[in-house]
Amino acid sequence: MERAAGDDRGLGHKPRYMVQGTPNLGGPIITGGGLVFVAAAMDIYLRAFDIETGAELWKGRLLAGGQAMPMTYHLGHDGKQFIVVAAGGHGKLGTKLGDSLIAFALP
């Protein structure tokens, strides 16, 4: 799968043209169910893509730039799966800075 991710709307400047797809700093994580999670773009979203089609299925807003590789863990008796990302931003890229770990539960 090859897919552009991210845009430059949240970088603190007013671009002449909105860039679709930005450099990504951080790798993806792939679940057993075929979801690819990426939080590495130069914006403040964690995205989920279908591994077969490349379609963006979901995006969740972070408190700051991700620019990181997501993590996953299972919790509880039912084995509920979570995707976690460190939202710390990146000073040299100009993304919003923060100090959060944000977890999203998979359905």
Over residues 39-63, the mean pLDDT reads 91
For residue 96, what pLDDT band results from cuts at 50, 70 and 90?
confident
Q: Answer whether residue 14 is part of any domain.
A: no
Cβ-based burial of 36 (10 A; exposed 0-12, middle 13-18, buried ≥19): buried
Q: Find, among 96, 38, 97, 87, the residue nearest to 66 by Cα.
A: 87
Q: Answer whether residue 21 is part of any domain.
A: no
Q: Answer whether residue 8 is part of any domain.
A: no
Q: What is the residue range of 59's domain?
A: 29-105
Q: Answer whether residue 85 is part of any domain.
A: yes
pLDDT of residue 21: 59
Number of domains in the chain: 1
Q: Answer whether residue 3 is part of any domain.
A: no
Cα 94 to Cα 24: distance, rounded to the nearest angstrom? 13
Q: Answer whether residue 23 is part of any domain.
A: no
In percent, the amount of the chain with pLDDT more than 70 equals 77
Higher pLDDT, 96 or 92: 96
pLDDT (tens digit per residue) in 4-35 = 555 555 555 555 555 555 666 778 999 999 99
